[in-house]
């Protein structure tokens, strides 16, 4: 099993120490650096091998949102998992638009944090239940439907199945189990359907599936 190299970015030393202590006893996870703000996180990422950054939002000098945008632009191979005390819908949407691969509230259990790190490292998106709820509520309050023709009918039947299962919240690995195909094949279907539908992230995929009534709440 490959070791996940994690960088902690949080301006509270006690938080970093607590998370670091937890992750250091977790098999397959290695802490390669700690940063107190976004600038420090960028500097460490430039000189250390980093797979994933556990990023707080509210930090001095450079906050987590700006740092996430910069990290995703300069180091597209690095995954960003937001760990914050905030879970308001405006934060969730802004975080996803910035390019983050996951969102977790600091009130989450330690087991959920480790699961989120592993999921994001594998290439899956991870949203806490509260974050998913905010996205759905945002749509239900009147998310404007995209203009123009809908390319849904261009999808293959298998791509439609993958779309539905991903929108229901299944990970790529679980989708592979359900459809009896490999996770790599699921990733290929996901990439093609996202391109065909001009979707950028999981939030847009969920909204699209709700709008098309592929899933219901």
Percentage of residues in the chain having pLDDT higher than 70: 88
The predicted-structure confidence for 179-197, as pLDDT tens digits, reads as follows: 999 999 999 999 999 999 9
- The yes-or-no verdict on residue 148 having pLDDT over 60 is no
- What is the arithmetic mean of pLDDT over 143-153? 59
CA distance 126 to 179: 21
**DSSP SS3 for 119:** helix
Looking at the DSSP bridge assignments, the partners of residue 81 are 54, 102
**Structural domains in the chain?**
4-137 (3.40.50.2300), 144-211 (1.10.10.10)
148 phi-psi bin (left φ>0, alpha ψ -120 to 50, beta other): left
Average pLDDT, the chain: 88
Q: Dump strand ranges (E) for the chain.
A: 4-9, 29-35, 52-55, 79-84, 102-105, 126-127
- The yes-or-no verdict on residue 207 having pLDDT over 80 is yes
């Amino acid at each position: 099993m490959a070791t996940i190299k994690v960088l902690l970015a949080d301006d509270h030393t006690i938080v970093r120490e607590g998370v670091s202590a937890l992750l250091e006893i977790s098999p397959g996870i290695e802490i390669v650096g700690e940063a107190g703000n976004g600038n420090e996180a960028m500097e460490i990422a430039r000189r250390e091998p980093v797979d994933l950054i556990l990023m707080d939002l509210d930090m001095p000098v450079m906050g987590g949102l700006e740092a996430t945008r910069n990290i995703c632009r300069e180091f597209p191979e690095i995954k960003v998992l937001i760990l914050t005390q905030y879970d308001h819908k405006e934060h969730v949407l802004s975080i996803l638009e910035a390019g983050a691969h996951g969102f977790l509230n600091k009130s989450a259990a330690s087991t959920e944090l480790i699961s989120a790190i592993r999921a994001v490292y594998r290439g899956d998106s991870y949203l806490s239940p509260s974050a998913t709820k905010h996205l759905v509520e945002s749509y239900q309050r009147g998310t404007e439907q995209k203009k123009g023709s809908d390319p849904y009918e261009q999808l293959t039947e298998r791509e439609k199945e993958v779309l539905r299962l991903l929108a229901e919240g299944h990970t790529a690995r679980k989708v592979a189990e359900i459809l009896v195909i490999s996770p790599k094949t699921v990733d290929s279907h996901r990439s093609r359907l996202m391109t065909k539908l001009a979707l950028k992230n999981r939030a847009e995929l969920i909204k699209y599936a709700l709008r098309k009534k592929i899933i219901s709440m």
